[in-house]
């Protein structure tokens, strides 16, 4: 395969870079190809020609991407739409995996402690008063909680808190806080779940109604 292949369609051109080619040589050929296109598009009344650079399984560094963008910036008639790769960088993959993983905690969280997680959390342990568990996803409580439980940190309003809500001091979902007092304590029992309702407040319902609430949420968020 050649280092660089140019393919055109109604949306512009795709520049296919061979992921096995030497990058310096491939970039040189890319520049030669782009300069040739610029020669053919010297009339200021010509439409802008759009390009997408596709690097296959080669993952470019930020410096290499900046070099390509800076080169295109020299030619007003040619616009770089995107630089695409068939692989994701390690940091982004780690972020995605963390956001979708499920954690299990079975220990004792003592007063003054705070445990943070990424993804969903199954809590089997004991949460003392003035202690806190916090995660970016939803929380499933099968243990005993007397402290602060926070799901959806910092802004995941689709998160929920399920299970044994009896004796919890405070619930937080995203940026919404519900303090449990004598006036509303009866709402927070085992077999319940807490979620953010249409008024952006925390509501509590029976677990048996979760499917219906989930359907309502999907309609609300599109």
Mean pLDDT of 96-122: 89
Calpha distance 150→109 (Å, rounded): 14
For residue 7, the model assigns a pLDDT of: 87
> Are both 36 and 120 inside the same structural domain?
no
> Are both 203 and 114 inside the same structural domain?
yes
> Are both 161 and 107 inside the same structural domain?
yes
Structure-token pair, residue 172: 């937080």
Tell me if 34 sits within 8 A of 71, measured CB to CB: yes
What confidence tens digit (pLDDT) does each residue in 168-181 have?
A: 999 999 999 999 99
What confidence tens digit (pLDDT) does each residue in 114-170 have?
A: 999 999 999 999 999 999 999 999 999 999 999 999 999 999 998 999 999 999 999
In a domain, 187, yes or no: yes
Structure-token pair, residue 186: 């009866």
> Are both 78 and 33 inside the same structural domain?
yes
In a domain, 52, yes or no: yes
Q: How many domains does the chain have?
A: 2
Choose among 184, 148, 130, 212: nearest CA to 139. 148
Q: pLDDT-derived band of residue 97, with 50, 70 and 90 as boundaries?
A: low
> Are both 101 and 205 inside the same structural domain?
yes
In a domain, 70, yes or no: yes
Tell me if 145 sits within 8 A of 129, measured CB to CB: no
User: 88, 122, 154 — which closes off a domain?
Assistant: 88
Q: What share of the chain is helix, strand, coil (3-state, %, to 5)?
A: 25, 35, 40
CATH code, domain carrying 199: 2.160.20.70
pTM (global) more than 0.75: no
In a domain, 221, yes or no: no
For residue 147, the model assigns a pLDDT of: 96
User: 36, 63, 88 — which closes off a domain?
Assistant: 88
In a domain, 128, yes or no: yes
> Are both 203 and 101 inside the same structural domain?
yes
**Which residue range is the domain that position 61 belongs to?**
4-88
For residue 92, the model assigns a pLDDT of: 65
Give the start-end residues of each E strand in 18-77: 49-54
> Are both 27 and 79 inside the same structural domain?
yes
């Amino acid at each position: 395969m050649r280092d660089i292949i140019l393919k055109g369609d109604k949306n512009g051109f795709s520049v296919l870079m061979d992921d096995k080619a030497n990058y310096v040589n491939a970039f040189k050929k890319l520049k030669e190809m782009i300069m040739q296109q610029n020669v053919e598009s010297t009339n200021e009344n010509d439409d802008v020609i759009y390009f997408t650079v596709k690097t296959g399984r080669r993952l470019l560094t930020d410096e290499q991407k900046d070099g390509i963008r800076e080169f295109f910036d020299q030619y007003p008639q040619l616009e770089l739409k995107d630089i695409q790769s068939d692989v994701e960088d390690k940091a982004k993959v780690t972020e995605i995996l963390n956001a979708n993983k499920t954690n299990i905690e079975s220990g004792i969280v003592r007063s003054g402690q705070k445990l943070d997680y990424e993804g969903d959390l199954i809590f089997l342990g004991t949460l003392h008063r003035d202690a806190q568990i916090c995660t970016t996803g939803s929380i499933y409580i099968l243990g005993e909680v007397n402290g602060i439980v926070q799901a959806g940190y910092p802004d995941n309003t689709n998160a929920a808190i399920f299970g044994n809500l009896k004796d919890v001091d405070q619930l937080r979902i995203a940026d919404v806080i519900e303090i449990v007092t004598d006036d509303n304590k009866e709402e927070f029992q085992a077999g319940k779940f807490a979620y953010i309702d249409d008024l952006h407040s925390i509501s509590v319902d029976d677990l048996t109604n979760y499917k219906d609430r989930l359907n309502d949420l999907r309609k609300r968020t599109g």
